[in-house]
Amino acid sequence: MAQPPRRPLHGLSAIVTGAGRGLGRAEALELARLGAAVVVNDYGQPGRDGSGAASAGPAEDVAAEIRASGGTAVAHTGDVSDFQQAQELVQLATAVFGRLDILVNNAGILRDRMVFSMAEEEWDSVVRVHLKGHFNTTRFAAAHWRERAKAQGGPVYGRIVNTSSEAFLAGSAGQPNYAAAKGGIVGLTTSTALALAKYGVTANAICPRARTRMTEDVFAGLAAPAEGLDPLAPEHVAPLVGYLASPAAARVNGQLLVVHGGMVAVVERPRVQAQFDSKQDAFSYDELDALLTPYYAQRPAGETFAATEVLGLKRA
């Protein structure tokens, strides 16, 4: 006799930003499959889909898909990089579902260019949507959980899953805006994890690798297989988001995980490799020259803080 599907998120409510397509859509569908009621956020108005048919907009299309499968979902078409609209998004979840339990920040854009060619708008827009967008929703979700915890006199249920990128870990040369924003998201995540732990809330970040509309140029040279699931399919990422949003992940907090193609890698925090102490009250140029120049002369040429080896991660 077939076992009924597990629904570890039953009775919980979630927000997924940038969920009209790609990764966000896969994540919203997975959270709904696991039992969550979902606010599907995506910035976009009614229009036409890729086939030319009338569309209520990407957010409503995904919300309708969830409802058609027996789930619960509503759409929100606001811009999460706008402080007030992000507040309205969190308010929508609490008004419709009574509370918010899970926040998945996924919304983003790309404006790739080398640092010496990048326009101010290309920098500002990417940092605004990714980093400020993550902050905006986190700020209002965190306030909601803090108020609930104070009202009931103890911890509540709260999960934040943020979206960073291997571009931050490996130092993507043609994406200084994107890499900087994604690095900032990791800092936001670890700070939030420490700040909200006492309220029962966890915050983690993932670095997904997936073929989406946003990354179609990045992976243009890697064709999808003729048969079987594409190693770059967003469906490889969504189950990890579902797990991190679940009660089972209560002890997972402030972590960074790389996920793609049937593989999850836990990234170790930075560690001090070497320490140099001055023999005087303070370092002089000459003393630093005597210590650091020979040290770096012995290090591999071209090695930086960037962890380029993550780009070689694949399923064993």
**Which positions are catalytic?**
165, 178, 182
The DSSP code for 29 is: H
Contact in structure between 210 and 263 (CB atoms under 8 Å): no
d(CA 167, CA 132): 18
Place of tokens 């399919």: 233
CA distances for 185 relative to 130, 164, 175, angstroms: 8, 6, 15
Looking at this protein, which amino acid is placed at residue 87? Answer: Q
Helix ranges restricted to H, the chain: 22-33, 58-68, 83-97, 120-127, 133-152, 166-170, 176-196, 238-244, 285-297
Cβ atoms of 221 and 178 closer than 8 Å: no
52-66 as b/e: b if 16+ CB within 10 A: eeebbbbbbbbbebb
